[in-house]
Structure 1
């Protein structure tokens, strides 16, 4: 009887399965991700498998906000030597299994008839990848190739070692056949060969057959030296080599990057960096200490006198208490004997007892940091105290929802301003409503941001409400069937920003009010770098002018993929840049063309660089000095001399700008003083967040940065940043949001919208009446076309969306972690993460290919197509990841079919890959201002810890 009941139950359950529209004769897994608490809305995906468990067809309705079903096919040969991954096919009507032929046909039609909507991977007999042919008929005959080799006598590999005294030594050459090599080349033949020894340690990276980076290990197998390509031409270790030393536990306690003084560390018994000093702190006789709580989380960071040993008990004995504790922080540590302590950062976790500590009591608005009945926050950071250059602290408290999502952030600034941010979430963890409120000068201004999502959780709209009225939809996104943003409709007559792509998801066209940019990647190039481009500018409607201004670009590269020429021709005008490099990628010569009325096509800059290792030592300019208003070129102003740097490689003196620079202990610029009496002062937090810029002009000459000189009385101007709010000269000026800003200075909200190119550079600014308020044209390396740009002073977010400061002739872009000089085309300090790119100079900009790569915050290189996703305003994934909600983030692309496209096109992002990089890019002005605008990372510890992993 029981068996009959069980059999009947099974039959009854099986009878329900056909309603799910899956083929019961095939293997499949169905996944549903629900978007609301009632279970009414969900994203469904069905993965089919063949008879031996290999993936064949993936179907999902989560690709586009419209809920249309799309499918992607994976095919593999019987032996697994060849596999094909097809791009998504649209136009499906359900989740029934489709034959491979049907899916392939739909894939072709879904990608504008391209006969190759798939990538093809081939493997050798050992299962190693030998070639990858990416999607697109325009790549016919082009593939990424891999060959497995050994070292040969005709291409010798030097053999280095570390002698008994810890110094670099040479042992001749590696014998032929003793190293294993992997030679890879992209579609354009740019090659990299990596040789490893029998222990699997990388010995050499060889690019283009002769650009060599060597890795040298000691007898214990620890990386001790990295010899950059320049070392093969100049054997100066201090200028061209990275060096690492270790203690008896094989933990790195000494590191040095080329051209900088070493960083020394003491580690505690848990192997964590406890005391560290760099070249600048060493000169001051000070060090930086890091103390941890009992769970290994950073609790207190600051500086002290000397270079003390690491405390034996570097972890807090108890959680923060109301008692004073270490330097009134509420933390208690044993065995601490530091002197001359200056606190930089304090972090609190798990609860809110720290609000009763003496350190927080010093905040004159400490009551503002409290909320009634906070949710438990075990395991989360609940607050922080951060020092500010010039004195004072920023106090912050963080509160969470029961699900662990950040719901309230409250901040008190040294000058008394108070900023609060409240966030409400959807069921999946995406922000539904955010309210920013700034209290300043006895007034409180608030801006509410409302987010709308499609049926798959993708962001489709964003609305702003200023001080409870004047609501405006500042973004209305539309997607194609493949889930790509194809348009952003702006309010009023501001128009629509349209986007187009090629089959590999590279942005080929951006068109908005006043600007249209077209980019071609083939023919000429096949690896993702653009071969040519066209910029079309329409005149501002309010001028009544007609016609367009068209600039045609042609890009040339060397065998290492570095941009050597960006030819720009517009009618009879020429704005071309040509560059030459040394082995490390430092620029040795730069020629920049511009117009200089009445002359056209003038070589405005003919720059020759004298280098000190990787650092520019001096620059000789043999071009014409442009002196008209708005001009942009390398301005030596008749001066000569040499750049000077501190022990950490940061620029401290620029003879051509007549400028000296001082820095805070944590590395952010503090003051720039010009020889004409002007100066610019900066206020940063120890975490690297910029709070204020103050420009002081002397009573004599004021250099405006465009070549003009005026005589006026002393003037003080300032700009302060409080999250997304900007105050100008002490008054609220604007609210920054992703895609533009809202002017608030007049008391009436006036919205301004950015039209950005695929790099994220602001090309034009429009208002809701259809007026074009600003147009920007750029050289390939970020310089402005001073003879063509209109209203350049209207707003300062320019190239790659970065702030350009031209006052006093500074002409530097603020990337956050570093400042960039577009005229000289180098950074003013080394890359904090330069150990991720040993073969590239720490001062080189964007891997010397700024039309393919971007540097989101001055610390790492990313691809330009990721910047394009941010420029389009795709921020829902960013918000999800920021809030720590991985499930919500998945709804925006991760784990769905978009990742199939990403897998099918190595190196080209799709879905989650794009969105995660969008979070890294942080090119959204709103998110940059709210979160950590730039993590300067004052201690070198984390950089060295990276080597240990």
Structure 2
């Protein structure tokens, strides 16, 4: 799941604005071409036509579909220039010349086979949008729109919480009537969210579904001090249901406490760099985590210490090739940090490879760490991370070394791991910076394995067209992708007899059908007779496997908070057969979303179907305290249900950070974590153990199951080893297995809309595994076929059944589908204040998924009454958190303003031009981030047909294309009240990554609109432009 980024209005990636013969003798237009190859043979041409007032009215581009046809969009405006009607893209003619609106609208209606392929916007007299009736004949006929209502609070409707002089929380009656502004948003199904804000723009209350209240409490200078989740209104227990933040005199958050957790502390140097941190578990062990930075504010060292000097004014360090430095890293702190018994967790190196001469690295391998790619120069690495040394859970050191080309792209990556493991990857790129060849050479002891992945991109839209894998002398084209005329993935063909997968969409580009020779799935939204859903929730799901050809499905019902309540199972076209055989119902939720009653149906011990789980939960705050099951436990082999292995008042125990440490029902006597909170060891009552090894970035390296026999699984890039022998090579859409002679066999996944593996089929067409799932992720114990064959299942995540653990490994946390809860607190808690940090997918597992706690987001930050600038600023950007654990942040501006990239050398677009005081803006943003004032605007839905990892890469690739754009000519300083550099950059980036126009519009509607107060557009000088291009 991801990233932060903002880009300039004229920087359409590598697009060049050019002059050409008029596309229309009577229309104003701008034509741009994005060149796709070095010879300029292939290019994406986009023409935007404008009316006499400068409003865009029509856009034609040949860069959406795979055939090169031009797709058109139409925008209609009212007399005030506001966008009134926005049409979905579709083909109209062979060229890109102007088409009259009447002719174009007829063509678009015919293309979509829908009378209303457009959205309608309505505004009030203050130009505020009050409704959007989205595309689709069904929505228009039913008049299902998204509505906004602007008002103020009534008397005795909003409680007034305050921070006392001593810093404690106080409740002081109610806000006076009309003292707060109120925005009420109502979706297509009538579900509401009200946001109340004070005169300074601070959100005071978010009220969902009429009475689900989350309060935000600020001190007298506008700093967020408390957040009271909905359950606080029922129990008034701040320790269990409240978030608390404290600050120093500079406005930096130095103390925070999450519900059910002990407090965390942070210390900073004089330059606002985070210098030390300590959570509850680290405090028990007498440890602090320290951080050191270079002069560019890039993190260079992270480690643990038993002592520290909180008054130290500098967390900077210098690198010396002849100096041993701290922890033999070569970095020497400039300040008196007061460290004691320090241990290195992570060292980062930048700009050169001089660190390779250090004994710290030499001791790890005898392999050559020099690049094999010819023509590389050391100067190409300036500004990029060139190496990293980390310590894993077992205390062993690992290393990674990277080399960059002239464009700053990683062309060689070497990884050094314990047990004589060495992985070298060599990467070649296309003209548009996309990988075209990735060679992986793995050496483990005496074994060497070479695998090459080849990528070919469509010459018309630059989307991936084929993926080929070479393993030794065996070559397979594992995927061939086809797109329709507006860029939607419509089919994927696999090698041999594995067959193809086809996709179909509704008018809103929501996935409607997935079909292959062996698996099909149908999704229904608004088209069901009972409980139709117009807001995007899936109202019915049906699927069929060729293993038994039974058509199965669920009807879903959601509550006013979009939480899944009823999942009624049935079979046959109308789901009238075998009713309730595998139903799953949540009878009650707490205000925070914790499940209080759950019933699950399935095959019972006597062979009949009925209630297999009748669960009642008891809580200590958000944490599950105990679960009782009136239905008893299933005993047959492979069964799935909740195993009620204890009958105690307290059956679940947690540590100071809110992580599960004991589970009596599963017979888990202890769960141990490393200093960074990664799983280390699970010990069962019978003495069996499951051990884990993670690196400092949270990447899992090894799993060991200990019982009468011990088995080990190692994860080395895409390679998987079982008990020391190469077992698999993973690729998107399947894996390659190896027999005892290392001969490869290719296997492919049949996935549903969530990415869950429904079937595994080999290249000969043989079905090797079939999985059927409950809505919350449990596997049908009696129907699934060959369930232990491979372990990637729900959401594509690895399922660990050993010792009865039955957890899904989502990377950041472990998920228990039987009790429907996570094992740890959500690390992104500040984005989900209204929810318990332990609930799964906001209790909507059919429509939302948490792949690994990492996603692509669009963020916005309102800088109200900035004392440095005396203007109101809205800054939007993109954040990507990848499955590898890396976080990429892309912002409009270099590292000295906005947010700067944290890892691997990806740079922002250009410098952030907030007048001349960039450091002031940087400081302000940093403070707002640390005080949790940074607000996520919208999660970006992964485009249909793409996996989360593919989308991550697409966004990162699109972002990287901005860096060396020599056509940067202006620093655009917006004066309008709707969009600026950051907004247009964000939307441009996402479009290039494959996000549909409908999704873009959904996001744009959520971005706050404030005047910036900036001046006019000002050209850059040549020196300014060159300097911007050099920025990292």
TM-score, with length taken from structure 1: 0.88
Q: Residue by residue, what CA displacement relative to the aligned partner does 1:672-706 show, whole Å, maximum 9, x if unpaired?
A: 01111211010100110100000011xxxxxxxxx
Q: Decide which of 389, 397, 400 is 1:385's aligned counterpart.
A: 389
Offset, 1:375: 3.9
CA RMSD of aligned residues (A): 2.3
Give the match for residue 759 of structure 1.
Answer: 754
Q: Decide which of 654, 660, 664 is 1:645's aligned counterpart.
A: 654
> Are 1:422 and 2:426 an aligned pair?
yes
Offset, 1:366: 5.8
> Are 1:432 and 2:436 an aligned pair?
yes
> Are 1:778 and 2:773 an aligned pair?
yes
Offset, 1:441: 2.2
> Are 1:400 and 2:413 an aligned pair?
no
Which stretch shifts more, 878-887 or 178-187? 878-887
Q: Residue by residue, what CA displacement relative to the aligned partner does 1:167-218 show, whole Å, maximum 9, x if unpaired?
A: 0011111111111110111111111111111121111111111111111111
Give the match for residue 926 of structure 1.
Answer: none
> Are 1:411 and 2:415 an aligned pair?
yes
CA contact under 8 A between 1:85 and 1:118: conserved in structure 2? yes
Give the match for residue 321 of structure 2.
Answer: 321
CA contact under 8 A between 1:275 and 1:310: conserved in structure 2? no
Q: Decide which of 842, 850, 863 is 2:845's aligned counterpart.
A: 850
The separation in 1 between residues aligned to 2:739 and 2:595, in whole angstroms, is 43
TM-aligned CA distance change 1:650 to 1:165, over 3 Å: same
> Are 1:495 and 2:489 an aligned pair?
no
Q: Decide which of 597, 602, 609 is 1:594's aligned counterpart.
A: 602
The separation in 1 between residues aligned to 2:847 and 2:40, in whole angstroms, is 43
Give the match for residue 933 of structure 1.
Answer: none
The separation in 2 between residues aligned to 1:607 and 1:385, in whole angstroms, is 47
1:578-727 equivalences under 5 Å are 578-579=585-586, 580-596=588-604, 598-637=606-645, 640=648, 641-659=650-668, 660-697=670-707, 714-727=708-721
The separation in 1 between residues aligned to 2:372 and 2:270, in whole angstroms, is 39
CA contact under 8 A between 1:71 and 1:897: conserved in structure 2? no
> Are 1:457 and 2:462 an aligned pair?
yes
The separation in 2 between residues aligned to 1:860 and 1:201, in whole angstroms, is 26
Q: Residue by residue, what CA displacement relative to the aligned partner does 1:483-538 show, whole Å, maximum 9, x if unpaired?
A: 10010011111111111111111101111242111000114110001011111111
The separation in 2 between residues aligned to 1:350 and 1:81, in whole angstroms, is 49
Give the match for residue 768 of structure 1.
Answer: 763
The separation in 2 between residues aligned to 1:158 and 1:860, in whole angstroms, is 34
The separation in 2 between residues aligned to 1:417 and 1:879, in whole angstroms, is 31
Give the match for residue 116 of structure 1.
Answer: 116
Offset, 1:83: 1.2
Give the match for residue 980 of structure 2.
Answer: none
Specify every segment of 5 or more residues in structure 1 that has no aligned partner in the other structure, as ranges: 1-16, 540-546, 698-713, 910-949
CA contact under 8 A between 1:513 and 1:766: conserved in structure 2? no
**SS where residue 791 of structure 1 aligns?**
coil
The separation in 1 between residues aligned to 2:994 and 2:22, in whole angstroms, is 19
The separation in 1 between residues aligned to 2:221 and 2:987, in whole angstroms, is 43
CA contact under 8 A between 1:280 and 1:648: conserved in structure 2? yes
The separation in 2 between residues aligned to 1:60 and 1:877, in whole angstroms, is 23
TM-aligned CA distance change 1:600 to 1:882, over 3 Å: farther
The separation in 2 between residues aligned to 1:81 and 1:476, in whole angstroms, is 42
CA contact under 8 A between 2:122 and 2:130: conserved in structure 1? yes
Specify every segment of 5 or more residues in structure 2 that has no aligned partner in the other structure, as ranges: 1-17, 572-576, 858-938, 966-985, 1007-1032
Give the match for residue 930 of structure 1.
Answer: none
Q: Decide which of 718, 726, 733 is 1:732's aligned counterpart.
A: 726
Which stretch shifts more, 887-896 or 68-77? 887-896
CA contact under 8 A between 2:433 and 2:957: conserved in structure 1? no
Give the match for residue 150 of structure 2.
Answer: 148
Q: Residue by residue, what CA displacement relative to the aligned partner does 1:382-426 show, whole Å, maximum 9, x if unpaired?
A: 100011111211111011111111111001002220011111011
CA contact under 8 A between 1:62 and 1:897: conserved in structure 2? no
CA contact under 8 A between 2:400 and 2:413: conserved in structure 1? yes
> Are 1:870 and 2:946 an aligned pair?
yes
TM-aligned CA distance change 1:507 to 1:899, over 3 Å: closer
TM-aligned CA distance change 1:399 to 1:36, over 3 Å: same
The separation in 2 between residues aligned to 1:867 and 1:556, in whole angstroms, is 25
TM-aligned CA distance change 1:756 to 1:556, over 3 Å: same
The separation in 2 between residues aligned to 1:873 and 1:205, in whole angstroms, is 33
Offset, 1:261: 0.5
Give the match for residue 572 of structure 1.
Answer: 578
Offset, 1:310: 5.3
**SS where residue 418 of structure 2 aligns?**
coil
Greater RCO (CA < 8 Å, at least 6 residues apart)? 2
Offset, 1:890: 11
The separation in 1 between residues aligned to 2:302 and 2:1003, in whole angstroms, is 41
Offset, 1:901: 3.8
CA contact under 8 A between 1:322 and 1:353: conserved in structure 2? no
Offset, 1:311: 2.9
CA contact under 8 A between 1:394 and 1:413: conserved in structure 2? yes
TM-aligned CA distance change 1:610 to 1:639, over 3 Å: closer
Which stretch shifts more, 868-877 or 882-891? 882-891
Give the match for residue 253 of structure 2.
Answer: 252
Offset, 1:336: 2.9
**SS where residue 332 of structure 1 aligns?**
strand
Which stretch shifts more, 859-868 or 277-286? 859-868
TM-aligned CA distance change 1:597 to 1:118, over 3 Å: same
TM-aligned CA distance change 1:865 to 1:78, over 3 Å: same
**SS where residue 869 of structure 1 aligns?**
coil
The separation in 2 between residues aligned to 1:179 and 1:513, in whole angstroms, is 58
